[in-house]
Amino acid sequence: MREGAEPFVFYEGPPSANGMPGIHHVISRTLKDLVCRYKTMQGFQVKRKGGWDTHGLPVELGVEKELGITKEDIGKKISVEEYNQKCREAVLRFKSQWDDLTRKMGYWVDLKDPYITFKNEYIETLWWILKQLFNKGLLYKSVSIQPYSPAAGTGLSSHELNQPGTYKDVKDTSATVLFRAIPNEKLAAANVTGDIFLMAWTTTPWTLPSNLGLTVGPNIEYSLVQSFNPYTHEPQNVVIATALLHKYFKAEGKDADLAAYQKEDKIILESNQHLYRQRAGRIKI
């Protein structure tokens, strides 16, 4: 009915058929279908090209797990051709279930002539497109951060970085760094002697040389704490968010006596109604 009409080109962002479809796929495909139906009603000819994503590290890792091999075994325990064939089989393993879901939800898409990313026709098409972009001066060489898997010997996409089991919780050393504040009227009003430092916590201390400033929140309450440097044992005045005091100062150190401080002490005693005063024994500088 739309032959000869202005085309509206729609290539479905291809799903990968190496896993069962879920409800989230129904949602995304409904949104795609809405666009195509709307453009068709406007009079465009919309050829709904279906497709299958058959590339990706998860497919390879799944096959390697099934075969009980690693990347180093390819070409030794199994030929490259056999490995590729196993991947081709695995990546379309659930195609029939995807086709069934497509029909049941009434999703209009051409499943008889889909593009499949492992086929040479598709790969060579991409090469051709890249060549056209290059000829038009639209490609450039630059530097960017690329996540890399030493075990797999390949770069990683953002999707692959969010696969189950990619991350695990670990404990690591972090640093709480002291930044000397420039004297001003507000700090002078605190009526303390000596320099005042702002405390800032970081897990990336190697970035400190490039720091240009600190951010403070206008709606955050801060406390000025009189304490001692745990390494030099010199008196020290530090500013810290009040809600974080418990992370660095023990409650029994509140209103401590600074005059009674000994460098072997872990908690200092002094009575003060306005300031938390104790040795900051847990602060790393």
- pLDDT for 58 equals 80
Q: Which fold has domain 10-162?
A: Rossmann fold (3.40.50)
Continuous segment of H or E residues that includes residue 89: helix 80-91
Q: Report the percent of the chain where pLDDT is more than 70.
A: 88
Query: What is the mean predicted confidence (pLDDT) over 221-237?
Result: 81
- pLDDT for 266 equals 58
Residue 190 in this model has a pLDDT that exceeds 90: no
Beta bridge partners of 224: 239
Query: What is the mean predicted confidence (pLDDT) over 93-112?
Result: 91
Query: What is the mean predicted confidence (pLDDT) over 7-23?
Result: 85
Q: What is the pLDDT of residues 192-217, one digit of tens each?
A: 778 888 888 888 888 888 888 888 88
- pLDDT for 271 equals 28
Cα–Cα dist 45/102, whole Å: 21
| Average pLDDT for the chain | 82
- pLDDT for 186 equals 65
Instruction: Report domain extents, the chain.
Output: 10-162, 172-205+220-285
- For every residue of 13-60, DSSP letters joined together read -PPPTTS---HHHHHHHHHHHHHHHHHHHTT-B--EEEEE----HHHH
Q: Would you say 52 and 117 are in contact if contact means Cβ atoms under 8 Å apart? A: yes
Reported confidence tier of residue 268, pLDDT bands at 50, 70, 90: very low
